[in-house]
Amino acid sequence: MDKITIIGAGNVGAHAAVSAATLELGHIILLDKDADLAKGKALDITQSMAVSHSDIMVSGTGNYEDTADSDIVVITAGVPRKPGMSRDDLLDINADILESIVSQVVKYSPECILIVVTNPITTMVQLAYKVSGFSKERVIGMAGILDGARFKHFIAQELNVGASEVMTMVIGDHGALMVPLKDHCQVNGQPIAELLSHQKIENIVSRVQHGGSEIVNLLKTGSAYFAPGLAVIKMVKSILRNEKKTLPCAVYLEGEYSTKGLFVGVPVVLGRQGVEKIVDIHLSEKEAIAFKSSVEHIRERTEGLLEKRAK
């Protein structure tokens, strides 16, 4: 049975654990510095599985030794956003948390695939890559799946259709400079430009780019967790079951999309080895310009953090 460790028993981590358990993906370890919190949520989730006659076990712990030899480690730990905060505001404090966690992951699960959910994702995953020393195929950030789901929902809502009928793709950063690919968005194979006015499309794109903030402002005490928790487990499922799904993730680019030496959100094929292929899609001139701006923002933020931590 595959072993999945989820680090951080807060809202995102707990909902990721529920999603993984519901899909019966393997033995799940929920780890938190507050061991009782992890144990309590793990016990509750395991008992919920018994309701549906599932034998899946979720174990809670505060000890990294219990995570040894995990196949996949998902890092959700970190400080969540509050109203008025951007993901970039979390940079320094979450970098400290992440670096400490990755060192323990490397010690106990040196062969695992590492997935980062901690914000700001594209920079945190680059830090995880540097600290871990893992190959680029085994370090991945969760980003575009969540953003694409929000894009899909808003379009479906506007057109009064099922979300399953909408195809979307979001690339670049996981933040205000993300790039929802309007020219690649279709509803039952029909381009959205034929279904919605330019202004309505632009309004939806803006709402997608600020979708996380919308939820933060409504919740007032934290950020989204249902959708992020399910989004990261979609990645885990594609890897463990070798589904080879094409999903937008933050991965290390070495010249693809005219970008080198940086983690950026692009479509990739996820299989048992982690990132098995980076999928090249044609960008319109406007999309390419927006993507370049997003990449420049990621690079500035990431290089700034790495330079600061090298001193």
- CA dist 264 to 23, 144, 240, 291, Å? 28, 10, 23, 10
Please choose, from the candidates 27, 115, 36, 44, the residue with its C-alpha nearest in 3D space to the C-alpha of residue 77: 115
CB 105 within 8 A of CB 38: no
DSSP symbols for 4-41: EEEE--SHHHHHHHHHHHHTT-SEEEEE-SSHHHHHHH
Please choose, from the candidates 247, 270, 267, 258, the residue with its C-alpha nearest in 3D space to the C-alpha of residue 296: 258
CA 13 remoteness from chain centre: 12
Residues 6+ apart with CB under 8 A from 295: 172, 173, 257, 259, 262, 264
Radius of gyration of the chain from Cα atoms? 19
Handedness of CA 260, 113, 48, 163 (dihedral sign): positive
174 is catalytic: yes
Handedness of CA 106, 111, 112, 113 (dihedral sign): positive
Residues 6+ apart with CB under 8 A from 244: 238, 269, 270, 271, 276
DSSP 8-state assignment for residue 172: B
Catalytic residue among 15, 153, 174, 184: 174
DSSP symbols for 185-210: -EETTEEGGGTS-HHHHHHHHHHHHT
Q: Which residues are catalytic?
A: 174
